[in-house]
Amino acid sequence: MIERYSRPDMKRVWSDENKFSKWLDVEIAVCSAWTEHGRIPRASLDKIKQAHCDLDRMQEILAETHHDMTAFLGSIADSVGPDARYIHLGLTSNDVMDTALSLQLVEASKILLDDLKELTTAVAVLAIKHKHTIAIGRTHGIHAEPTTFGLKLAIWFEELQRHRRRLEEAARVIAYGKISGAVGTYATVPPEIEEMTCAKLGLEPAPVSNQILQRDRHAQFVTTLALVGASLEKFATEIRLLQKTESREVEEPFQEGQTGSSAMPHKRNPELCERICGMARLLRGYAVTAMENVSLWHERDISHSSAERIILPDATLLLDYMLDIFTKVIRGLNVYPENMQNGLDITRGLVFSQRVMLALIDKGISRQEAYKFVQRNAMKSWSTGEKFLTLLEADEELMARIGKEELKAIFDYRFYLEHVDTIFRRLGLTEAQWKDCDTLKDARLAPGAI
């Protein structure tokens, strides 16, 4: 991943230093298990525990062998001496590489789960703040009925909660190791060595394996990241649409001195949200590649290996960056309730059309007839620009069926707020339920901080 989109903690997970440190952790854990099993002398294990990987020396050996694992083993052997003969005892390369990769993915998962918690909290805080900030709802891009900006965010909050559970499950599925030999038969390394090794590393032993951990695990992990990215794209797209000049209901942060366009000094573009949308496309591509990696020849080939060197680091680096950027967008989002009100008023009361129709039905009129009464006046309002209520009041046939004051009472935006509190209570998004919401409780914010 390019430097611009790489955050330090996730970069460290995928650094060569961390990767080969994990390889060494696996080798030492296996040697420790062999020692407990009586195969490796305790004195030899003490020397093996002092082993280290010299990356420069590894590169020298790699230039000759063209094999990562033999180069790695040659490098650490130099630091151990004769007792290095016990290192990698009975193992195949992927016993070490796949188990170490699982450790890296577990590390990456922890960072991403923290990122998700931060974003979920930011969305929750903004949702509660704008719980009753009324705005127009749109279907097909056309004004429908009023909603609130907080309800939009409440939907995001609950979606992020689902992603948190998905990522926790994906992290659990990937937290497996395998120390089972060349094709998974344990012919050269018994199952108890695998069990002991995995316990030392904080992993579960794969119940069955061949030369590798099966790649449906990795596909589930990357697909989960892509799903999170798809939601971030959804959220970012909504902000982009609401930021359009014609409505400008919200606006992503824009710092003093920031430039929106080299040609037009007035521009304030939603470039952060656009960036997120572009990156989500990459994540979906990585998910496809991860699924392609599931099918390998017989007990294993290496067609997946080259792809994984790119997609696993890049997918985690990308999502880490996307979550951080979108959290900053949410925390700094400019919200313009006055423009939301202007949007509500732009159709001159047409948003109340369903309420008028339902009121007529309550008077005993058939739905079809009530629909016609309302629609003919609504279409006239569209074409003439006259207020919907004015046209209804001038419709003698309709007014013969409903009182004038009753009709006027229908045109009240507060009607659409009646059940908002109920929805928020369901989600734990009220101050009274603050302590019961796991995400908010775990966040570094005190109850009542809103």
Question: What pLDDT is attached to residue 203?
Answer: 98
> Which residues are catalytic, by number?
140, 261
The answer to whether 391 touches 380, Cβ cutoff 8 Å, is yes
Write out pLDDT tens, residues 89-124: 999 999 999 999 999 999 999 999 999 999 999 999
Write out pLDDT tens, residues 233-255: 999 999 999 999 999 999 998 77
Strand partners, 138: 143
User: Residue 268 above 90 pLDDT?
Assistant: no
The answer to whether 328 touches 122, Cβ cutoff 8 Å, is no
90: Cα separation from own chain's centroid: 40
Place of tokens 């951990």: 213
User: Residue 448 above 60 pLDDT?
Assistant: no
User: Residue 194 above 80 pLDDT?
Assistant: yes
Confidence of residue 227 (pLDDT cuts 50, 70, 90): very high
Confidence of residue 72 (pLDDT cuts 50, 70, 90): very high
Confidence of residue 303 (pLDDT cuts 50, 70, 90): confident
421-435: burial string, b at 16+ Cβ within 10 Å, e else: eebbeebbbeeeebe
Question: What pLDDT is attached to residue 260?
Answer: 66
Write out pLDDT tens, residues 121-176: 999 999 999 999 999 999 999 998 999 999 999 999 999 999 999 999 999 999 99
Strand partners, 130: none
The token pair that represents 150 in the structure block: 């907080």
Average pLDDT over residues 373-394: 92
Q: Cα(187)–Cα(115) distance, rounded to whole angstroms?
A: 43
Question: What pLDDT is attached to residue 262?
Answer: 65
User: Residue 7 above 70 pLDDT?
Assistant: yes
User: Residue 434 above 70 pLDDT?
Assistant: no
Q: Cα(415)–Cα(351) distance, rounded to whole angstroms?
A: 12
Average pLDDT over residues 56-64: 91
Confidence of residue 258 (pLDDT cuts 50, 70, 90): confident
Gyration radius of the chain's alpha carbons: 30
Which of 269, 280, 282 is CA-nearest to residue 329?
269
Question: What pLDDT is attached to residue 47?
Answer: 95
Question: What pLDDT is attached to residue 261?
Answer: 63
The token pair that represents 204 in the structure block: 């579960």
161: Cα separation from own chain's centroid: 10
Which of 265, 313, 257, 369 is CA-nearest to residue 107?
313
Write out pLDDT tens, residues 304-343: 999 999 999 999 999 999 999 999 999 999 999 999 999 9
Question: What pLDDT is attached to residue 433?
Answer: 59
Confidence of residue 447 (pLDDT cuts 50, 70, 90): very low
Write out pLDDT tens, residues 206-221: 999 999 999 999 999 9
Instruction: Report the share of the chain in percent with pLDDT over 90.
Output: 82
DSSP characters over 372-387: HHHHHHHHHHHHH---
Question: What pLDDT is attached to residue 265?
Answer: 74
Average pLDDT over residues 294-299: 94
Q: In the predicted model, what is the mean pLDDT of the chain?
A: 91
Q: Cα(55)–Cα(17) distance, rounded to whole angstroms?
A: 8
Question: What pLDDT is attached to residue 397?
Answer: 87
